[in-house]
């Protein structure tokens, strides 16, 4: 009997689905469809992402009792569909408090609920605002295979509960359901962490992550299964829904632990855990192997581009829009924004509008027209110089005796913002603003002009990365989809004669590392100067960043792709006189 007990495999499926916050019925339908697919693939256990029923993060919807009640009713409605397998579904649970939970269904019954134990409260997370921490010590026996369950943050703690202790209590398979937000490179780091947990626990670790966009957050999928030695045996696709199926050789766990007494279950740890029996569905005998599921991870620029496309599509569609409009100036930012929008929504759903003035160069309009032709999108030209002159004439008495300055420059983008919003209102188009992180960071944008819009998809994309993404898209196209002249000409807002961005800002190759060091890395001005940057320049850039907080608070949301984005990650007071810790007096 002992040989038969350990000579078994468990077929597991990780259903990385794209949920929508608050769409309980729609999320339920996705779960049911995935359960049906899992049954067709002869799966024993299927896992779904964290809070799959409600979508993640539901934020203050969790303070609405009718929402919580409806979410729990939806959870219970899933039970009949789970006949014939085991399903682990992210959900809400109430038991004298509210919990971020995982429901364990088995053969048509809701048999247990696990409560998340580690609640993140940093960066974009605010779970202590809503949830109580769980305390259960529980494992599940599925046909002789011992399974531990945890939720997202629980597995990031190397020695704490529950996964390490569950393994010590005999668990051979550790399942973690997650909603882990994306930023550049996080998938690689997360996969390495999962592999480390598997090797440290001498257990299979199956990690199921959410996919899709939710406001500013992007979830990349990239679910993964690692073996007891830390090797990757299955990997889900990035930025796509996927069903990741793997056959786990549970016997390998037993053999490894048998050779090392330190890895075996101890009486102390074992007795501290409750074991829930998932009976009535014995594991099947030999069966054809599951189809291979080992996608190749994308490189840094490719994954960012995919994130921006999916984030744009989900923001537009999930908020009930079908078409978008943007100012198409002939510059690199608007060209990349238009390209991403077309890839996300189709050219028939994107309209670009050129709005030249006396300061617009002929080549800018030519480049905008070529960009629109290359993409096959709708294109309008609405000259605004006459409107601009009307503003100047009306303001002339008030401005008498004063020289033109940034005031007159900013009138132009504000006219453009007004016209774009008029088109948005008339046709129901969502207005995309085109500013990048470099501009948003230092306030190099016009409030109620460049910042007008419903979604800023480049908001967390530094200018230097804008160029990399544009070259990447051209490489995918096999030709200059974004005209080469757009990528080569000096960046300019074209609001006065011969204007260039470098008239006001350091070169972006210098500016972006300073912004990264200050915003994402948390360096002080002295620390940044020590990296080799000019002290006066560092001081000037940081003052621009700090003084622009009021602008950022009024800007539309955008997709988070760096480790610290302006928005949920960045919570500085607008009224703020802190200047301590900067350069010695007189240096900045």
Cα–Cα distance for residue pair 219/222, rounded to 1 Å: 9
Own/partner pairs, 270-274, CB within 8 angstroms, 24+ separation: 270/168, 270/169, 270/170, 272/137, 272/165, 272/169, 273/137, 273/138, 273/139, 273/165, 273/166, 273/169, 273/170, 274/136, 274/137, 274/138, 274/139
Contact predicate 438/545, CB 8 Å:
no
Return the DSSP state at 404.
-
Residue with tokens 């796509």: 240
CA dihedral 325, 327, 331, 335 (to 10 degrees): 0
> Of residues 50, 153, 216, 303, which has the active-site annotation?
50
Cα–Cα distance for residue pair 376/111, rounded to 1 Å: 54
Residues ≥6 apart with Cβ < 8 Å to 399: 407
Return the DSSP state at 529.
H
Residue with tokens 């006219």: 415
Q: What HEC string does 463-521 produce?
A: HHHHHHHHHHHHHHHCCCCCCHHHHHCCCCCCCCCCCCHHHCCCCHHHHHHHHHHHHHC
Please confirm, yes or no, whether 116 is among the known catalytic residues.
Answer: yes
Contact predicate 168/200, CB 8 Å:
no
> Of residues 28, 91, 116, 459, which has the active-site annotation?
116
CA distances from 399 to 277, 359, 406 (A): 81, 21, 13
Q: Which residue in 203, 222, 202 sits closest to 211, CA to CA?
A: 222
Structure tokens at 74: 């939806």
Beta bridge partners of 208: 177
Contact predicate 74/32, CB 8 Å:
no
Return the DSSP state at 445.
S
> Of residues 28, 91, 152, 226, which has the active-site annotation?
152
Structure tokens at 67: 């929402």
Please confirm, yes or no, whether 549 is among the known catalytic residues.
Answer: no
Please confirm, yes or no, whether 277 is among the known catalytic residues.
Answer: no
Helix (H, G, I), strand (E, B) or coil at 121: coil
Active site residues: 50, 116, 152
């Amino acid at each position: 009997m002992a040989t038969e007990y350990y000579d078994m495999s468990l077929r597991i499926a990780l259903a990385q689905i794209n949920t929508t916050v608050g769409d309980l019925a729609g999320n339920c339908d996705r779960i049911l469809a995935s359960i049906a697919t899992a049954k067709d693939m002869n799966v024993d256990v299927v896992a779904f992402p964290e809070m799959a029923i409600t979508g993640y993060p539901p934020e203050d919807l969790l303070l609405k009792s009718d929402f919580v009640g409806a979410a729990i009713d939806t959870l219970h409605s899933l039970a009949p569909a789970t006949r014939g397998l085991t399903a682990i579904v992210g959900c809400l649970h109430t038991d004298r408090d509210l919990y971020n939970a995982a429901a364990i269904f088995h053969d048509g019954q809701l048999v247990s609920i696990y409560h998340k134990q580690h609640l993140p409260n940093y960066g974009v997370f605010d779970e202590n605002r809503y949830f109580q921490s769980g305390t259960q010590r529980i494992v599940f026996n599925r046909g002789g295979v011992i399974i531990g369950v945890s939720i997202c943050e629980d597995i990031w703690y190397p020695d704490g509960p529950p996964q390490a202790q569950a393994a010590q209590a005999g668990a051979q398979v550790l399942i973690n359901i997650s909603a882990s937000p994306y930023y550049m490179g996080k998938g690689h780091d997360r996969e390495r962490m999962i592999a480390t947990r598997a090797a440290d626990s001498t257990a299979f670790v199956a990690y199921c992550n959410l996919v899709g966009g939710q406001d500013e957050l992007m979830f990349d999928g990239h679910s993964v299964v690692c073996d007891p030695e830390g090797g990757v045996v299955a990997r889900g696709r990035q930025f796509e829904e996927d069903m990741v199926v793997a056959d786990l050789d549970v016997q390998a766990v037993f053999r490894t632990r048998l050779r090392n007494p330190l890895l075996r279950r101890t009486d102390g740890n074992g007795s501290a855990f409750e074991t829930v029996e998932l009976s009535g569905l014995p594991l099947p005998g030999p069966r054809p192997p599951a189809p291979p599921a080992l996608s190749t991870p994308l490189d840094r620029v490719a994954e960012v581009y995919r994130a921006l496309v999916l984030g744009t599509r989900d923001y537009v569609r999930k908020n009930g829009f079908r078409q978008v409009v943007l100012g198409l100036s002939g510059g690199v930012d608007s060209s990349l924004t238009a390209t991403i929008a077309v890839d996300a929504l189709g050219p028939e759903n994107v309209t670009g509008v050129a709005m030249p003035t006396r300061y617009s160069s002929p080549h800018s309009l030519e480049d905008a027209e070529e960009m629109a032709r290359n993409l096959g999108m709708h294109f309008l030209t609405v000259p605004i110089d006459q409107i601009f002159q009307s503003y100047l004439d009306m303001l002339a008495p008030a401005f008498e005796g004063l020289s033109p300055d940034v005031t007159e420059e900013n009138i132009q983008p504000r006219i453009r913002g007004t016209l774009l919003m008029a088109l948005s209102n008339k046709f129901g188009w969502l207005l995309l603003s085109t500013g990048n992180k470099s501009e948003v960071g230092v306030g190099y944008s016009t409030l109620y002009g460049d910042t007008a819009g419903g979604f800023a998809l480049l908001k967390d994309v530094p200018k230097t990365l804008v160029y990399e993404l544009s070259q990447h898209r051209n490489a995918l196209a096999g030709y200059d989809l974004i005209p080469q002249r757009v990528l080569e000409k000096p960046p300019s807002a074209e609001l006065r004669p011969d204007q260039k961005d470098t008239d006001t800002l350091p070169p972006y190759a210098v500016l972006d590392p300073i912004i990264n060091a200050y915003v994402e890395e948390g360096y002080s001005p002295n620390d940044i100067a020590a990296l080799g940057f000019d002290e006066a320049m560092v001081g000037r850039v940081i003052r621009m960043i700090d003084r622009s907080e009021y602008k950022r608070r009024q800007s539309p949301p955008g997709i988070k792709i760096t480790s610290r984005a302006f928005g949920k990650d960045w919570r500085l007071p607008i009224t703020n006189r802190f200047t301590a810790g900067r350069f010695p007096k007189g240096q900045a």
